[in-house]
Every structure is written in structure tokens, then in C-alpha cells.
Chains A and B, each alone.
Chain A
């Protein structure tokens, strides 16, 4: 069975500074990886996904993530954050084969400080 660890529960960062939100996964088989964002009082929306191909994946709102198979990581990055990026971010994993649901991490709360 797969699992996801988001190493930081909260990340404060100043506006226009870069940010990295860390995600590590555990699985014995090949996986698909996802990042979702949840703005206050809203549902989750897909930020980006890795299915295959290039290990650097670009998503919405200037975010990108890099799949590193040897380190079983899928860290999310943004070179310059805005106040509007304040939200909760969830990493999720799913096995390539089989028919299992997504497994989510516990989330990282990003707070952008003016």
C-alpha cells in the first residue's frame, strides 16, 4: 500500500520569496502523483500532476513540481509567491496499476506574509 508524507505542516513565507513544499511517498510499485490546493472555505482543486514523461511538471498559478524516483519525492515549488497563494496544499499518490483511490498527505498550510 502506498503512503504520503508531507514533511511540513505549516510554512510561512514572505511575499515575493520562493517556496518549496515537500512531499515524499512510499510505494513498491510505479505511481502517479498529484498536488491539490484548497483555498479557505473551498473544496480542493488540482494544481498539477505527474503521470509519465518529463519529471518536471508545470501547473497553474506558476507552480511546478519535480518527480524524483530515487528519492521518492515530489516537491512543489514556486519562485515568487503572492498573498493569494495562501492556502492548504495536499500531495496525493496513486498506483499506476490496479484500481485504488488516491491517497492524500495531511497537508501543508502555506501562509504568505506581506
Chain B
């Protein structure tokens, strides 16, 4: 079955380190998204991509970067981790075309702790 996976599921890192969170989908979806979820803030969009080589900044993009070299993957990199980036991170994808182009499918999340 097609799916969207995230790895690692849990990560503890130190302030200042570079961290990369992986997101992989097997639906062949054009669109991919990264969100962070924090208490009281709901889901906030970090970066998104509408296709290979396309990336766009979301609401809270400072300190994060993404690259899209193929359809299946959108890794999220924290260039220099900060305690304020402790959060649960969700990846999502949507077809972009077809009968349900905007319906987003979410991964299980990555819990990141920056100490």
C-alpha cells in the first residue's frame, strides 16, 4: 500500500547541531509539506514543494531548509538547532492533480527535542 513515512520518529539533539528529518511518500504526489505542531499554536507550515526542484517558504521558515530532488522525498534540515525548535514535526503530501488534488495525507510525525 502507498504510504508516507517519517524518520526518525524521535530525535534528541544538542543546540547548534545540524539535523535532518526525512519524509518519504510512495503515492507519487506532486505536493509535499512540512508542519510543526506546538501546544496553543496548532499546525504551522514551515516549507512546501509543488514538484521536483520547487520549494516555497511557509509561515515559520526561519532556521529551516528543504530541497526536492525527486518526487518521493522532501527532507527538512535544521541548519543550527535551537531550543525553540523543539516540537513535533509532520510531513504531508497531496496529489496536486486529479479528483482530490488538495486532500493532504499526513505522516506519523517526528518528535524532536533540542537540549
Residues of chain A lying within 8 A (CB to CB) of residue B50: 99
Pick out which of these stretches binds chain B: A14-22, A41-49, A57-65: A41-49
- The A/B interface has a contact count, at CB < 8 Å, of 44
**Is B102 in contact with A102, judged by CB distance below 8 angstroms?**
yes
A105 to chain B minimum Cβ distance, whole angstroms, is: 6
**Is A43 in contact with B42, judged by CB distance below 8 angstroms?**
no
Residues of chain A lying within 8 A (CB to CB) of residue B48: 101
A32 CA / B99 CA spacing, docked (Å)? 14
B35 to chain A minimum Cβ distance, whole angstroms, is: 8
**Is B90 in contact with A106, judged by CB distance below 8 angstroms?**
no
**Is B103 in contact with A94, judged by CB distance below 8 angstroms?**
no
Interface residues on A, range: 20 to 34
A44 and B103 contact, Cβ closer than 8 Å, known pairs A90-B42, A101-B48, A107-B42:
no
Chain B residues touching A, majority SS: strand
A106 and B40 contact, Cβ closer than 8 Å, known pairs A43-B90, A44-B90, A101-B58:
yes
Per the 8 Å Cβ criterion, residues 21-62 of A in contact with B are 32, 34, 36, 41-46, 49
Which of B33, B45, B92, B104 is the most central at the interface, judged by chain A CB atoms within 10 Å of its CB?
A: B104
Interface residues on B, range: 20 to 34
Which of A41, A46, A101, A105 contacts B103, CB < 8 Å? A46
A105 and B42 contact, Cβ closer than 8 Å, known pairs A43-B90, A44-B90, A99-B50:
yes
Q: Is B60 an interface residue (CB 8 A)?
A: no
Q: Is B12 an interface residue (CB 8 A)?
A: no
Chain A residues touching B, majority SS: strand
A78 CA / B84 CA spacing, docked (Å)? 37
Q: Is B108 an interface residue (CB 8 A)?
A: yes
**Is B106 in contact with A43, judged by CB distance below 8 angstroms?**
yes
Q: Which 4 pairs from chain A and chain B are nearest by CB?
A: A106-B42, A43-B106, A104-B43, A44-B106
For the A-B complex with A6-B42, A44-B43 known, give 6 more contacts whose Cβ atoms are closer than 8 Å. A34-B103, A45-B106, A90-B42, A90-B43, A94-B102, A101-B58
